[in-house]
Structure 1
């Protein structure tokens, strides 16, 4: 990481009650992403939140 690029391979994904999926954010660690997903999930809405990891070429 000599070029100042920060790697954020962990995504939090939200799926609404219509099945639409959105990226909520990108995070450096799985623990950080899971903490965000859990806090959003605790709000009691009908959306689903989960954590996914990007592979090295940027695909899920």
Structure 2
């Protein structure tokens, strides 16, 4: 598999104070995504962050 076909099933999602949700990024592993969440939370951001897995359509 080449880089353009990389599987990135883990999302980091952010919800702002108004309830709007945004995808922060896609990651190959849950640990990698969770590390991003922890880094954002530790830096003082007030929004909520969490990890979600994309379900395979195949």
TM-score (ref. length: structure 1): 0.85
Q: Distance in 2 between matches of 1:46 and 1:31?
A: 22
* Displaced runs of 4 or more, over 4 A: none
Q: Residues of 2 paired with 1:11 and 1:39: CA distance? A: 15
Quote the Cα distance in structure 1 between the aligned partners of 2:45 and 2:28.
Answer: 26
What is aligned with 1:7? Answer: 7
* Corresponding residue pairs, total: 55
The C-alpha deviation readout for 1:3-47, integer Å capped at 9, x for no partner, is x21000000000011110000000000000000011001122220
Alignment of 1:13-52 (within 5 A): 13-52=13-52
CA distance in 1, matches of 2:24, 2:52: 11
